[in-house]
Amino acid sequence: MPSTLYTVVVDAKDPAALAQFWSAVLDHPIVFEEGDEVAVAKDKDTPPALLFIKNDDRKMVKNRVHIDLNPHDQAAEVERIIGLGARRADVGQTGAETWVVLADPEGNEFCVLRSR
């Protein structure tokens, strides 16, 4: 039997604050919080979760793994997420992309796709 994706782990200087941001972005609750670990998921029984863990290392380069969001209205969603604390990020886009690159409050890049 193959494995099941359970969590995607994100290093964070402030796991609770970053989990709050992603909870608002995804409209999913915080389903676990213990010490320096905080998880956000659809519900506590439905993986995968985003698990934020404490790490004080400084982010140095573009993420090797990132999240893609699929909104109904890309422009409105980009503005909503920026209002939650994200910022636009430049990872070498040409301007011809159909997605928008943002960074969360700790600088982790993610993409807001056009509706699919």
What is the overall mean pLDDT for the chain?
Answer: 95
Domain with CATH 3.10.180.10 in the chain: 66-116
Please write the tens of the pLDDT for every residue from 47-56. Answer: 999 999 999 9
* pLDDT (0 to 100) of residue 63: 84
Domain with CATH 3.30.720.120 in the chain: 6-56
| pTM of model > 0.85 | yes
pLDDT of residue 58: 87
Fold of 6-56: 3.30.720
Q: What confidence category does residue 116 fall into, taking pLDDT thresholds of 50, 70 and 90? A: confident
Residue 52 has, within 13 A of its CA and on its CB side, a CA count of 24
CATH (one of 3.40.50.300, 3.40.50.740, 3.20.20.140, 3.10.180.10) for 66-116? 3.10.180.10
The residue type found at 31 is V
